Structure 1
Amino acid sequence: MRALLPLILLAGCAGATETPPASTLATASVTARGETDAVGTANADAADDPAIWRNAADPAASLIVGTDKKAGLYVYGLDGKARSFLDAGRVNNVDLRSDVRIAGTPGVLVAASDRSDKAQAMVALFRLDTATAKLVPLAKLPAGAGEAYGMCLYRSGDAVFAFLVMKDGTIAQMALDLSGATPTGKVVRRMKLGTQSEGCVADDRTGRLYVAEEDVGLWRFDAALTGSATPVPIAKADGQQIVADAEGVALAGEYVVVSSQGDNAYAVYRLDDDSYVGRFRIAAGTIDGTSETDGIEIARGDFGPAFPGGLMVVQDGDNAPDAQNFKLVAWDDVAAALKRD
């Protein structure tokens, strides 16, 4: 959701809008090295969330999956060109895991939050055919009452879970059974934040789940089934580190990054002690900068000559005169701007 802040200042100035609040903290700048084709839905808040598949054999041939939340899912190459589109309906957030056994065969599992029915949440599952860059529908799994919003996958040993964040802050943890020809799933745990929430990411290494509550800030949960369902606060949307809305959340090695949508920036925190690292923006360069960012994704590692130290993919809420799209940023550039590894 865009952070539109209408404010009637005076009776004689009806219709005036407040300038988005500005953090006074130092904020570094980087520029994008690439961008995707625009999504097909024009004149609307449509592009939303990306996921990244890294091709270990040929990193420059890696793929990006991105949502047009009004229409379906795109698969892009690192050149930004759309390789395929699947009419998957109103899918909002997306995540993936590689080397998952699907019907007994290793593959890339893609999961999206399906909000086609705003009263009944669904998890939509797909297999990514990496040879053809196409998505193959597998199943739609019911997750109970609520409007599906955020989505992230979590793997613990051989078990694969989907975390579905409802718009009201309810978080449903679904255990996925991928052994049969058609996957099945069962909600095994529910957690709750107080208000509208969306962005999430799960850390397979530490067993932690990070969720952004839009007007409140960033929280951490224990992702284990037997773990505590009580959220631990990481950062407040205090108008400084994070300017509401807190939106997309992504892991970058030892860091977690959250979109500070209210002032078109991104805040970075350490995973080991939750400490604040810094902030950055994606400014205009050869490619235009980003604003009003919803979803983000980061993958460390080699992604070819343009992204040798990792890739960050960022939804751009204003790609005028074209429809919304996703910007591609080298993680090396972010690390250098923040003076971090």
Structure 2
Amino acid sequence: MAGHDIVKAARKGSAALLPALLLTACATTAPQAEAPRPRYAATDIPAQAETTPVGTAAADAADDPAIWRNAANPAASLLLGTDKKAGLYVYGLDGKVRDFSPAGALNNADLREVRMADGSRRILVGASDRTDRAEPRIALFALDGASGKLAVLGAQSFLKPGHAPAEAYGFCMGAPLAAGELARAYVVLKDGTVAESRLVDRAGTIAAEHLRDVKFATQSEGCVVDDATGTLYVAEEDVGIWKVPLAPATLSGEAYARVGEADGLVDDVEGLAIAREADGRAWLVASSQGDNAYALYDLASGKLAGRFRVNGGGLGGTSETDGIELIVGDFGPTFPEGVFMAQDGDNAPHAQNFKMLSWASIKAALGLR
């Protein structure tokens, strides 16, 4: 505003004053240097495994993981991860590629086991599809737990015709909230809008039907649903984590954790994951991307329970993490209590990949046993 007023005055005054006035205007509008981000204390924990790098080299490509636990044969469980330039990977617990679907620019992924209308069970995988930056879609797949192969079910548009252009960004799924649904899907648009849709079975074809929105002020991405309480958690990148109860007809957010609060989060706040253990304890993990760490909260109280970094060991650490996932339970001898999976933004000299840690090692390092 000051610069605008100065230039306007110069037009009315003497031409001899113009250079000095313009210099003053430039001085008032010069960008300020960005303050360095803090680096809070965190416990170093080495990775126990890693995936084969994604196929897109020399780019920010790997983004968000999902995990399917094979209850019948835990060691044969499967990991999924997006290459946001190219498609979706399936890995074994050894990190080797089992399948790849070249489905386009898929950013975030999640999965659910659902029961179709005919009674059959399906491992349903969904991802935010940003191939068309103006038309958000949900890319859907069926995962074969035995072979690790993906079957493409198609990309579903879900917003009503005539809506403003919007870019799909974050994605997560939750349990159905009404009869006749397979699941609820939440697409976080890049402007901070979270669009909720129900996924339904239409004669064997899964369709998305948009229901309602909740809007946050700035760019958001990470999200996760706690089925036990019917609550959605959303990461507004520069602000913190919001808690959204899903029972009310109108969605609204309550502050859960803020950037810089209690030395927990450094912006950007990225991926979120929830773990409920058999003893009743529940945790929320968030990627504190700004200081290459992960913040762990007691889910019910919102109190910070610890912070850790993936660092040390022969596989290298993680940095600039976007997506994360944590699933508890028996995953075989390497991951006896659960798997934590995190995108690694700098896996040089190779392309980006995902690192895996045992949940048991995280709890032991943070004294949570």
TM-score (norm. length: structure 2): 0.84
Equivalent residue runs for 1:273-284 within 5 Å: 273-284=301-312
1:302 aligned to which of 307, 330, 341: 330
| CA–CA separation in structure 2 for the residues paired with 1:114 and 1:20 | 33
Q: In structure 1, the residue corresponding to 2:218 is in which secondary structure?
A: coil
Displacement of 1:18: 7.5
Displacement of 1:181: 2.1
% identical aligned pairs: 52
Quote the residue 1:238 is aligned against: 260
2:138 aligned to which of 123, 126, 143: 123
| 1:197-256 deviation per Cα after TM superposition (whole angstroms, max 9, x unaligned) | 0000001111010110000011110123x3552211111112731110000000122000
Which amino acid counterpart does residue 280 of structure 1 have in structure 2?
F
Quote the residue 1:12 is aligned against: none
**Aligned partners of 2:329 and 2:338 also within 8 Å:** yes
**Aligned partners of 1:221 and 1:228 also within 8 Å:** no
Q: In structure 2, the residue corresponding to 1:262 is in which secondary structure?
A: helix
| CA–CA separation in structure 1 for the residues paired with 2:358 and 2:312 | 15
Quote the residue 2:108 is aligned against: 93
Q: In structure 2, the residue corresponding to 1:156 is in which secondary structure?
A: coil
Higher strand share: 1
**Aligned partners of 1:200 and 1:249 also within 8 Å:** yes
**Aligned partners of 1:104 and 1:179 also within 8 Å:** no
2:220 aligned to which of 176, 180, 197: 197
Quote the residue 1:108 is aligned against: 123
Quote the residue 1:22 is aligned against: 38
| 1:78-101 deviation per Cα after TM superposition (whole angstroms, max 9, x unaligned) | 000001111110000000012443
1:76 aligned to which of 91, 95, 119: 91
2:270 aligned to which of 247, 250, 269: 247
**Aligned partners of 1:244 and 1:261 also within 8 Å:** yes
Bigger Cα Rg? 2
**Aligned partners of 1:39 and 1:325 also within 8 Å:** yes
**Aligned partners of 1:202 and 1:223 also within 8 Å:** no
**Aligned partners of 2:224 and 2:233 also within 8 Å:** yes
Quote the residue 1:175 is aligned against: 198
Q: Does 1:263 align with 2:291?
A: yes
**Aligned partners of 2:44 and 2:312 also within 8 Å:** no
Higher mean C-alpha displacement, 226-235 vs 34-43:
226-235
| CA–CA separation in structure 2 for the residues paired with 1:326 and 1:51 | 11
Q: In structure 2, the residue corresponding to 1:60 is in which secondary structure?
A: helix
Higher RCO, 1 or 2 (CA under 8 Å, sep at least 6)?
Answer: 1
Quote the residue 2:5 is aligned against: none
Number of equivalenced pairs: 323
Higher mean C-alpha displacement, 72-81 vs 123-132:
123-132
| 1:162-192 deviation per Cα after TM superposition (whole angstroms, max 9, x unaligned) | 0000011000000111242221121101100
Which amino acid counterpart does residue 116 of structure 1 have in structure 2?
T
| CA–CA separation in structure 1 for the residues paired with 2:325 and 2:117 | 24
Quote the residue 1:184 is aligned against: 207
Which amino acid counterpart does residue 264 of structure 2 have in structure 1?
Q
Structure 1: state its 5+ residue gaps.
1-16
Quote the residue 1:13 is aligned against: none
